[in-house]
Protein backbone atom coordinates (compact mmCIF):
# COMPACT_ATOMS: atom_id res chain seq x y z
CA UNK A 1 0.00 0.00 0.00
CA UNK A 2 1.37 3.45 -1.05
CA UNK A 3 1.38 6.01 1.72
CA UNK A 4 0.13 9.50 0.85
CA UNK A 5 2.67 12.35 0.99
CA UNK A 6 1.92 14.56 3.93
CA UNK A 7 5.12 16.67 3.95
CA UNK A 8 4.62 18.18 0.44
CA UNK A 9 7.01 21.08 1.10
CA UNK A 10 9.91 18.65 1.42
CA UNK A 11 8.79 16.97 -1.78
CA UNK A 12 8.93 20.25 -3.71
CA UNK A 13 12.17 21.56 -2.25
CA UNK A 14 14.08 18.36 -2.87
CA UNK A 15 14.16 18.71 -6.69
CA UNK A 16 15.02 22.42 -6.37
CA UNK A 17 17.98 21.68 -4.13
CA UNK A 18 19.07 18.97 -6.52
CA UNK A 19 18.84 21.50 -9.40
CA UNK A 20 21.04 24.03 -7.59
CA UNK A 21 23.57 21.33 -6.73
CA UNK A 22 23.51 20.09 -10.31
CA UNK A 23 24.38 23.61 -11.54
CA UNK A 24 27.56 23.54 -9.52
CA UNK A 25 28.28 20.04 -10.81
CA UNK A 26 28.06 21.35 -14.38
CA UNK A 27 30.65 24.03 -13.64
CA UNK A 28 28.34 27.06 -13.45
CA UNK A 29 29.49 29.52 -10.78
CA UNK A 30 27.14 32.48 -10.26
CA UNK A 31 29.43 34.24 -7.79
CA UNK A 32 29.86 37.95 -8.44
CA UNK A 33 33.44 38.56 -9.63
CA UNK A 34 33.02 42.36 -9.88
CA UNK A 35 35.46 43.09 -7.03
CA UNK A 36 38.02 40.37 -7.74
CA UNK A 37 40.45 42.99 -9.01
CA UNK A 38 40.79 44.26 -5.43
CA UNK A 39 42.44 40.97 -4.51
CA UNK A 40 45.04 41.16 -7.27
CA UNK A 41 48.67 41.25 -6.11
CA UNK A 42 51.35 43.40 -7.75
CA UNK A 43 53.91 41.69 -9.93
CA UNK A 44 57.41 42.76 -10.85
CA UNK A 45 57.73 44.89 -13.99
CA UNK A 46 58.92 43.13 -17.12
CA UNK A 47 62.60 43.68 -17.81
CA UNK A 48 63.66 43.46 -21.46
CA UNK A 49 67.10 41.89 -21.92
CA UNK A 50 69.75 44.32 -23.14
CA UNK A 51 70.27 42.45 -26.40
CA UNK A 52 66.67 43.28 -27.45
CA UNK A 53 65.22 46.63 -28.50
CA UNK A 54 62.56 47.99 -26.17
CA UNK A 55 59.91 50.27 -27.66
CA UNK A 56 57.43 52.05 -25.43
CA UNK A 57 53.76 51.51 -26.12
CA UNK A 58 51.74 54.41 -27.47
CA UNK A 59 48.05 55.25 -27.21
CA UNK A 60 46.06 53.56 -29.95
CA UNK A 61 43.23 56.11 -29.63
CA UNK A 62 44.58 59.50 -28.66
CA UNK A 63 42.35 61.55 -26.37
CA UNK A 64 41.80 64.97 -28.03
CA UNK A 65 42.69 68.18 -26.25
CA UNK A 66 39.85 69.47 -24.08
CA UNK A 67 38.18 72.54 -25.54
CA UNK A 68 37.02 74.64 -22.61
CA UNK A 69 35.56 77.55 -24.57
CA UNK A 70 32.28 75.69 -25.09
CA UNK A 71 31.42 75.66 -21.39
CA UNK A 72 32.49 76.96 -18.02
CA UNK A 73 34.33 74.43 -15.86
CA UNK A 74 33.41 76.37 -12.71
CA UNK A 75 29.66 75.92 -13.11
CA UNK A 76 27.73 72.85 -12.00
CA UNK A 77 27.46 70.23 -14.71
CA UNK A 78 24.04 69.53 -16.15
CA UNK A 79 23.27 66.74 -18.56
CA UNK A 80 22.49 68.50 -21.84
CA UNK A 81 19.14 67.96 -23.50
CA UNK A 82 19.32 66.04 -26.78
CA UNK A 83 19.29 68.12 -29.94
CA UNK A 84 16.01 68.19 -31.82
CA UNK A 85 15.98 65.85 -34.80
CA UNK A 86 16.57 67.67 -38.05
CA UNK A 87 14.08 67.42 -40.88
CA UNK A 88 16.69 65.51 -42.86
CA UNK A 89 16.24 62.55 -40.52
CA UNK A 90 12.73 62.02 -41.89
CA UNK A 91 12.48 63.40 -45.42
CA UNK A 92 14.87 64.99 -47.85
CA UNK A 93 14.01 68.40 -49.27
CA UNK A 94 15.75 70.61 -51.82
CA UNK A 95 15.22 74.37 -51.71
CA UNK A 96 16.67 77.42 -53.41
CA UNK A 97 17.57 80.04 -50.82
CA UNK A 98 17.93 83.72 -51.71
CA UNK A 99 19.55 86.66 -49.95
CA UNK A 100 19.74 89.84 -52.00
CA UNK A 101 21.27 88.90 -55.35
CA UNK A 102 22.77 85.67 -54.00
CA UNK A 103 21.07 82.31 -54.56
CA UNK A 104 22.13 78.84 -53.47
CA UNK A 105 20.69 75.34 -53.11
CA UNK A 106 19.90 73.92 -49.68
CA UNK A 107 19.68 70.13 -49.34
CA UNK A 108 19.00 68.57 -45.97
CA UNK A 109 21.40 65.70 -46.58
CA UNK A 110 25.07 65.63 -45.53
CA UNK A 111 27.70 66.82 -48.06
CA UNK A 112 29.21 63.34 -48.30
CA UNK A 113 25.90 62.15 -49.83
CA UNK A 114 25.30 65.19 -52.03
CA UNK A 115 28.81 65.24 -53.53
CA UNK A 116 28.47 62.05 -55.67
CA UNK A 117 25.01 63.15 -56.84
CA UNK A 118 26.47 66.40 -58.19
CA UNK A 119 29.15 64.42 -60.01
CA UNK A 120 26.43 62.19 -61.49
CA UNK A 121 24.47 65.27 -62.62
CA UNK A 122 27.48 66.65 -64.48
CA UNK A 123 28.25 63.30 -66.07
CA UNK A 124 24.63 62.76 -67.17
CA UNK A 125 24.63 66.17 -68.89
CA UNK A 126 28.02 65.52 -70.54
CA UNK A 127 29.74 68.31 -68.60
CA UNK A 128 33.39 67.37 -68.32
CA UNK A 129 35.11 67.96 -64.98
CA UNK A 130 38.43 69.78 -65.22
CA UNK A 131 39.27 69.75 -61.52
CA UNK A 132 37.78 68.40 -58.31
CA UNK A 133 38.84 69.05 -54.73
CA UNK A 134 36.79 67.18 -52.12
CA UNK A 135 38.63 68.81 -49.23
CA UNK A 136 37.86 72.34 -50.43
CA UNK A 137 34.44 71.23 -51.69
CA UNK A 138 34.86 72.51 -55.27
CA UNK A 139 34.13 70.98 -58.66
CA UNK A 140 35.30 72.86 -61.76
CA UNK A 141 33.85 72.12 -65.17
CA UNK A 142 35.83 72.23 -68.38
CA UNK A 143 35.18 75.04 -70.87
CA UNK A 144 31.75 74.67 -72.48
CA UNK A 145 30.15 76.17 -75.60
CA UNK A 146 26.52 77.28 -75.67
CA UNK A 147 24.81 77.26 -79.06
CA UNK A 148 23.67 80.87 -78.79
CA UNK A 149 27.21 82.23 -78.22
CA UNK A 150 29.76 80.33 -80.37
CA UNK A 151 32.45 82.98 -79.85
CA UNK A 152 32.40 82.58 -76.05
CA UNK A 153 33.38 79.70 -73.81
CA UNK A 154 31.77 79.17 -70.40
CA UNK A 155 32.70 77.19 -67.32
CA UNK A 156 31.26 76.61 -63.82
CA UNK A 157 32.59 76.11 -60.34
CA UNK A 158 30.35 74.29 -57.87
CA UNK A 159 30.96 75.00 -54.17
CA UNK A 160 29.71 72.35 -51.73
CA UNK A 161 29.60 73.48 -48.09
CA UNK A 162 28.26 72.40 -44.74
CA UNK A 163 24.80 73.81 -44.12
CA UNK A 164 23.70 75.82 -41.11
CA UNK A 165 21.72 72.90 -39.70
CA UNK A 166 23.33 69.52 -38.92
CA UNK A 167 23.45 67.07 -41.85
CA UNK A 168 22.56 69.72 -44.42
CA UNK A 169 24.41 70.96 -47.50
CA UNK A 170 24.67 74.28 -49.31
CA UNK A 171 25.55 74.36 -53.01
CA UNK A 172 26.81 77.61 -54.53
CA UNK A 173 27.59 78.06 -58.22
CA UNK A 174 29.86 80.57 -59.94
CA UNK A 175 29.97 81.22 -63.69
CA UNK A 176 32.99 82.32 -65.71
CA UNK A 177 33.26 83.22 -69.41
CA UNK A 178 36.03 84.08 -71.87
CA UNK A 179 36.58 84.55 -75.58
CA UNK A 180 37.50 81.46 -77.55
CA UNK A 181 41.11 82.59 -77.89
CA UNK A 182 41.49 83.10 -74.12
CA UNK A 183 39.51 80.12 -72.87
CA UNK A 184 42.47 77.75 -73.01
CA UNK A 185 44.53 80.00 -70.71
CA UNK A 186 44.25 79.17 -67.03
CA UNK A 187 42.88 82.09 -65.02
CA UNK A 188 41.56 82.80 -61.55
CA UNK A 189 37.89 82.52 -60.85
CA UNK A 190 36.03 85.85 -60.62
CA UNK A 191 34.64 87.04 -57.29
CA UNK A 192 31.13 87.09 -58.80
CA UNK A 193 29.58 85.28 -61.73
CA UNK A 194 30.29 86.87 -65.12
CA UNK A 195 26.77 86.12 -66.31
CA UNK A 196 24.13 85.87 -63.54
CA UNK A 197 21.62 84.37 -65.99
CA UNK A 198 23.95 81.50 -66.85
CA UNK A 199 24.58 80.97 -63.13
CA UNK A 200 20.83 80.88 -62.42
CA UNK A 201 20.27 78.41 -65.26
CA UNK A 202 22.81 75.92 -63.88
CA UNK A 203 21.52 76.42 -60.32
CA UNK A 204 17.93 75.71 -61.35
CA UNK A 205 18.89 72.65 -63.41
CA UNK A 206 20.93 71.15 -60.58
CA UNK A 207 18.22 71.87 -57.99
CA UNK A 208 15.52 70.30 -60.17
CA UNK A 209 17.62 67.17 -60.67
CA UNK A 210 18.42 66.78 -56.97
CA UNK A 211 14.75 67.29 -56.07
CA UNK A 212 13.47 64.77 -58.63
CA UNK A 213 15.81 61.93 -57.75
CA UNK A 214 15.73 59.98 -54.53
CA UNK A 215 18.88 59.78 -52.48
CA UNK A 216 20.32 56.28 -52.45
CA UNK A 217 22.18 56.95 -49.21
CA UNK A 218 25.58 56.34 -50.84
CA UNK A 219 28.39 58.53 -49.59
CA UNK A 220 31.80 59.65 -50.80
CA UNK A 221 34.66 58.71 -48.51
CA UNK A 222 36.75 61.50 -50.04
CA UNK A 223 34.08 64.03 -49.10
CA UNK A 224 33.66 63.05 -45.44
CA UNK A 225 35.25 66.31 -44.29
CA UNK A 226 33.90 68.47 -47.08
CA UNK A 227 32.97 72.08 -46.50
CA UNK A 228 34.97 72.55 -43.32
CA UNK A 229 33.58 72.44 -39.80
CA UNK A 230 30.11 73.41 -38.57
CA UNK A 231 29.02 76.95 -39.31
CA UNK A 232 27.09 77.37 -36.07
CA UNK A 233 28.23 76.68 -32.50
CA UNK A 234 27.50 77.82 -28.96
CA UNK A 235 30.62 79.15 -27.22
CA UNK A 236 31.45 80.61 -23.83
CA UNK A 237 32.92 84.08 -24.33
CA UNK A 238 34.08 85.86 -21.16
CA UNK A 239 31.75 83.63 -19.17
CA UNK A 240 28.70 84.34 -21.36
CA UNK A 241 27.06 81.88 -23.79
CA UNK A 242 27.37 83.15 -27.36
CA UNK A 243 25.96 81.77 -30.60
CA UNK A 244 28.86 81.95 -33.06
CA UNK A 245 28.28 81.93 -36.83
CA UNK A 246 30.82 81.42 -39.59
CA UNK A 247 28.66 83.49 -41.94
CA UNK A 248 28.72 86.92 -43.49
CA UNK A 249 27.22 89.69 -41.34
CA UNK A 250 24.46 90.28 -43.87
CA UNK A 251 23.40 86.65 -43.92
CA UNK A 252 23.71 86.29 -40.15
CA UNK A 253 21.28 89.17 -39.61
CA UNK A 254 18.87 87.75 -42.17
CA UNK A 255 18.81 84.24 -40.72
CA UNK A 256 18.52 85.58 -37.17
CA UNK A 257 15.58 87.75 -38.25
CA UNK A 258 13.91 84.61 -39.64
CA UNK A 259 14.62 82.55 -36.50
CA UNK A 260 13.15 85.25 -34.23
CA UNK A 261 9.75 84.81 -35.85
CA UNK A 262 9.62 81.07 -35.14
CA UNK A 263 8.90 78.67 -32.28
CA UNK A 264 7.58 81.04 -29.61
CA UNK A 265 9.57 84.17 -30.52
CA UNK A 266 7.92 87.43 -31.57
CA UNK A 267 9.91 90.45 -32.78
CA UNK A 268 8.73 93.66 -31.12
CA UNK A 269 11.18 96.09 -32.71
CA UNK A 270 14.60 96.13 -34.34
CA UNK A 271 17.52 98.37 -35.26
CA UNK A 272 18.81 96.52 -38.31
CA UNK A 273 21.86 98.74 -38.84
CA UNK A 274 23.02 98.12 -35.27
CA UNK A 275 22.11 94.43 -35.41
CA UNK A 276 19.78 94.61 -32.37
CA UNK A 277 16.42 92.85 -32.12
CA UNK A 278 13.90 93.39 -29.31
CA UNK A 279 11.88 90.19 -28.96
CA UNK A 280 9.42 88.43 -26.70
CA UNK A 281 9.16 84.73 -26.03
CA UNK A 282 6.37 82.43 -24.93
CA UNK A 283 6.87 78.69 -24.86
CA UNK A 284 4.78 77.29 -27.73
CA UNK A 285 1.97 74.88 -27.00
CA UNK A 286 2.96 71.23 -27.40
CA UNK A 287 0.03 69.38 -29.03
CA UNK A 288 1.06 66.15 -27.30
CA UNK A 289 0.57 67.80 -23.88
CA UNK A 290 -2.92 69.16 -24.59
CA UNK A 291 -5.99 67.54 -23.15
CA UNK A 292 -8.82 66.44 -25.41
CA UNK A 293 -10.93 69.34 -24.11
CA UNK A 294 -8.44 72.06 -25.03
CA UNK A 295 -7.80 70.45 -28.42
CA UNK A 296 -11.49 70.67 -29.24
CA UNK A 297 -12.59 73.85 -27.48
CA UNK A 298 -9.37 75.81 -26.77
CA UNK A 299 -8.74 77.37 -23.41
CA UNK A 300 -5.80 77.81 -21.08
CA UNK A 301 -3.34 76.10 -23.41
CA UNK A 302 -3.99 78.47 -26.34
CA UNK A 303 -0.85 80.21 -27.60
CA UNK A 304 -0.08 83.52 -25.87
CA UNK A 305 1.28 86.32 -28.02
CA UNK A 306 3.86 88.35 -26.06
CA UNK A 307 3.56 92.15 -26.00
CA UNK A 308 5.53 95.10 -24.62
CA UNK A 309 4.77 98.75 -23.74
CA UNK A 310 8.28 99.88 -24.77
CA UNK A 311 10.07 100.53 -28.03
CA UNK A 312 13.64 99.49 -28.72
CA UNK A 313 14.71 103.15 -28.77
CA UNK A 314 13.42 103.56 -25.21
CA UNK A 315 15.32 100.50 -24.04
CA UNK A 316 18.59 101.58 -25.66
CA UNK A 317 18.27 105.06 -24.15
CA UNK A 318 17.86 103.56 -20.68
CA UNK A 319 20.19 100.56 -20.61
CA UNK A 320 21.24 99.62 -17.09
CA UNK A 321 24.73 98.35 -17.89
CA UNK A 322 28.10 99.83 -16.91
CA UNK A 323 30.14 101.70 -19.48
CA UNK A 324 33.07 99.49 -20.58
CA UNK A 325 34.90 98.51 -23.78
CA UNK A 326 32.93 95.24 -23.86
CA UNK A 327 29.60 97.05 -23.50
CA UNK A 328 30.46 99.60 -26.19
CA UNK A 329 31.42 96.78 -28.58
CA UNK A 330 28.11 94.99 -27.98
CA UNK A 331 25.95 98.15 -28.20
CA UNK A 332 27.91 100.38 -30.62
CA UNK A 333 24.98 102.70 -31.35
CA UNK A 334 24.38 103.64 -27.70
CA UNK A 335 25.92 106.99 -26.67
CA UNK A 336 25.58 106.70 -22.88
CA UNK A 337 25.20 103.79 -20.47
CA UNK A 338 23.50 103.79 -17.08
CA UNK A 339 22.52 107.47 -17.30
CA UNK A 340 18.86 106.95 -18.15
CA UNK A 341 16.03 106.03 -15.85
CA UNK A 342 15.30 102.44 -15.03
CA UNK A 343 12.15 101.36 -16.84
CA UNK A 344 9.56 99.35 -14.96
CA UNK A 345 9.25 95.61 -15.63
CA UNK A 346 10.72 95.47 -19.11
CA UNK A 347 9.57 92.23 -20.78
CA UNK A 348 11.41 90.26 -23.43
CA UNK A 349 15.01 90.09 -24.56
CA UNK A 350 17.59 91.96 -26.61
CA UNK A 351 19.27 89.88 -29.32
CA UNK A 352 22.55 91.52 -30.36
CA UNK A 353 24.44 90.61 -33.55
CA UNK A 354 28.13 91.61 -33.40
CA UNK A 355 30.50 90.99 -36.33
CA UNK A 356 34.24 90.45 -36.02
CA UNK A 357 36.80 89.73 -38.72
CA UNK A 358 36.33 85.96 -38.70
CA UNK A 359 32.78 85.36 -37.47
CA UNK A 360 29.52 86.79 -36.15
CA UNK A 361 28.56 86.47 -32.46
CA UNK A 362 24.96 86.47 -31.23
CA UNK A 363 24.20 87.39 -27.61
CA UNK A 364 20.94 87.41 -25.71
CA UNK A 365 20.39 89.92 -22.90
CA UNK A 366 17.43 90.99 -20.81
CA UNK A 367 15.50 94.18 -21.58
CA UNK A 368 17.92 96.25 -19.48
CA UNK A 369 20.97 94.98 -21.39
CA UNK A 370 22.20 92.72 -18.59
CA UNK A 371 23.38 89.14 -18.97
CA UNK A 372 20.97 86.27 -18.39
CA UNK A 373 21.90 83.33 -16.23
CA UNK A 374 23.87 80.81 -18.27
CA UNK A 375 21.21 78.13 -18.32
CA UNK A 376 18.49 80.42 -19.65
CA UNK A 377 20.85 81.99 -22.20
CA UNK A 378 21.91 78.58 -23.54
CA UNK A 379 18.30 77.42 -23.70
CA UNK A 380 17.12 80.44 -25.72
CA UNK A 381 20.17 80.39 -28.01
CA UNK A 382 19.55 76.70 -28.70
CA UNK A 383 15.99 77.46 -29.77
CA UNK A 384 17.24 80.21 -32.08
CA UNK A 385 19.87 77.87 -33.51
CA UNK A 386 17.29 75.26 -34.46
CA UNK A 387 15.40 77.83 -36.57
CA UNK A 388 18.35 79.20 -38.55
CA UNK A 389 18.33 78.79 -42.32
Region 265-288 average pLDDT: 88
**Do the Cβ atoms of 129 and 149 come closer than 8 Å?**
no
pTM confidence score = 0.71
For residues 121 and 124, what is the distance between their CA atoms, to the nearest angstrom? 5
CA 37, chain centre distance (Å): 43
Domains and CATH numbers, the chain: 87-223 (3.30.530.50), 232-386 (3.30.310.170)
Composition of the chain by helix, strand, coil, percent to 5 = 30, 20, 50
pLDDT per position as a tens digit, 303-335 = 678 899 999 999 999 999 999 998 998 998 888
| Least confident segment among 173-187, 269-283, 368-382 | 173-187
Residue 78: per-residue pLDDT: 62
Q: What is the DSSP string of 338-350?
A: S-SPPPSS--SEE
| 388: three-class secondary structure by DSSP | coil
pLDDT per position as a tens digit, 109-160 = 999 899 999 999 999 999 999 999 988 899 999 999 999 888 999 999 999 9
| Least confident segment among 1-15, 35-49, 129-143, 281-295 | 1-15
β 102-107/169-179 pair status: antiparallel
Question: What is the percent of the chain where pLDDT is above 90?
Answer: 49
pLDDT per position as a tens digit, 289-306 = 555 555 565 555 556 788
In this predicted structure, the answer to whether residue 79 has a pLDDT above a threshold of 50 is yes
Amino acid sequence: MIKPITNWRGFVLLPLSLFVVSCSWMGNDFRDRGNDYLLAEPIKPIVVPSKYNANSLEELYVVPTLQTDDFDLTEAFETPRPEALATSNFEESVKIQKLGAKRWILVNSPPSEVWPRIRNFLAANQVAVADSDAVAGTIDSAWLQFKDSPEVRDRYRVYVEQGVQPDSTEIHIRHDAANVSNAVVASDWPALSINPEREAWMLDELAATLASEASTGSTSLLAQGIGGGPKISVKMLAGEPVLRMALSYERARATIAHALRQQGFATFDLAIDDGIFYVGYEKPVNPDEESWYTRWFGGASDAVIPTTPYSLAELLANLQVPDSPETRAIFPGVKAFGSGKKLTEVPGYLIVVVATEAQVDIRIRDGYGNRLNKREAKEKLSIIRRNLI
